[in-house]
Amino acid sequence: MALDHRLSPEHEELRRTVEEFAQDVIAPKIGEYYERHEFPYEIVRQMGSMGLFGLPFPEEYGGMGGDYLALCIALEELARVDSSVAITLEAGVSLGAMPVHLFGTEEQKRTWLPRLCTGEILGAFGLTEPECGSDAGGTRTTAVRDEKTGEWVINGTKSFITNSGTDITGLVTVTAVTDRKEDGSPRISTIIVPSGTPGFTVAPAYSKVGWNASDTHELSFSDVRVPGENLLGEEGRGFAQFLRILDEGRVAIAALATGLAQGCVDESVRYANERTAFGKPIGANQAIQFKLADMEMRAHTSRLAWRDAASRLVAGEPFKKAAALAKLYSSESAVTNAREATQIHGGYGFMNEYPVARMWRDAKILEIGEGTSEVQRMLIARELGLSA
């Protein structure tokens, strides 16, 4: 019996719907937002109206009742056109809303998820700090419980936080040290901090190489007080919680990276058929054909990898290694395809009016965010039974 990796009719219908939206609505406008380093509120609003932010969440909380595979399908189609929009959705769902869904109390879910699912508000995940990223055990942000009021008092700084400073950002889930073990190692917890809480400051937006139409800031917390019930999940279990979030997020980033890799193929095939040199389309040259064949191979294999990981996730099977493999391969494929697409476009590939220039700038972060390529190789080696 042959393994059928094709999408179900429902998932294929979703794919076509998002593809049409990306091509008809996002593609004509996003370049201008990108050039202005401007967050595309109107596009995000339309994505919310389509239910994209609610794809993997239950209908009882305002979601679409779909699954993580559905989210990844949408991310791939969006990233074929633009990664800023795709990462806004990925971070809003995987990092913003998913922690509340997975670890929140019933009250927390009913308070936050309905607005997160419709895109009325965005959520962010405050993990990375100026001196720790992959080494999350080095977290320096602290949260101390006030014995008189029961409130958490948070102090610290977070870096590179997506969706954290928009006009519609509603909350940031912050990882903080709440206690120490006997050996001195930190016990980390996650705490919901609503936007606008006194002492919670959002720094000016970063000047980034890519993802210029997405929102990224440094955050600081100076004696920020939130109610004790804003603790998300069990106290001291924050480390395990964010590992779960990152494992799932890697599948989503793999889908996004696949979309970028495929977008490079799409744009390069179009250009190779239109651009002539020495009296014929450049696509007639074997050197260009071989480049494009290799680019399609990378995109196709990346797609198989993330769909395998997503299928395991949805089925409730172990997926950590599959997620790391998919994230590693697809992100490196995206970087390679972006470089090759720029080369095929020649001088025009260096002009911002061409999508491949944007894709080239956007690709590199995919080898860094949600676990660097080096971290993915460490995870894969560990899953193979190799110890440090």
Nearest in space to 117 (alpha carbons), one of 45, 62, 59, 194: 62
Residue type, 260: L
Residue whose pair of structure tokens reads 């936050």 in the numeric block: 112
Our answer to whether residue 370 is catalytic in this structure is yes
The SS3 assignment for 143 reads: strand
Q: Which residues pair with 202 in a beta bridge?
A: 219
Structure tokens at 384: 């193979």
Among the listed residues 77, 129, 340, 370, the single catalytic one is 370
* DSSP track, 205-239: PP--SS-TTS-EEEEEEEEEEE-GGGEESSTT-HH
Q: How far apart are CA 7 and CA 14, in angstroms?
A: 10
Residue whose pair of structure tokens reads 């679409």 in the numeric block: 64
Residue type, 337: N
| Structural contact between residues 220 and 203, judged by C-beta atoms closer than 8 angstroms | yes
Structure tokens at 240: 């395990």
Residues designated catalytic:
370
